[in-house]
Copies of this chain bind each other. A is one copy, B any other.
Amino acid sequence: MKVIADFCIVPIGVGVSLSPYVAGAVDAFENAGLECQTHSYGTNVSGEYDQVFAAFKDALKKIHEMGAPRITCTIKLGTRTDREQTMQDKIDSVAEKRKR
With the chains together, A40 CA to B88 CA distance in Å? 7
**Interface 1/0 per residue, A35-46 and B, CB below 8 Å:** 001111110101
The range of chain A's interface size is 35 or more
- A13 touches which of B4, B15, B23, B44 (Cβ 8 Å): B15
Q: Which residues of chain B are near A22, meaning CB under 8 Å? A: 94, 97
Q: How many copies does the complex hold?
A: 4
Chain B: CB-nearest residue to A43? B94
Q: Name, among A15, A40, A53, A77, the residue most crowded by chain B CB atoms within 10 Å (CB to CB).
A: A40
**Interface 1/0 per residue, A2-25 and B, CB below 8 Å:** 001110101011011011101100
With the chains together, A1 CA to B1 CA distance in Å? 24
**Interface 1/0 per residue, A47-62 and B, CB below 8 Å:** 0011001000100110
Q: Is the CB of A75 within 8 A of B78?
A: no
With the chains together, A50 CA to B70 CA distance in Å? 18
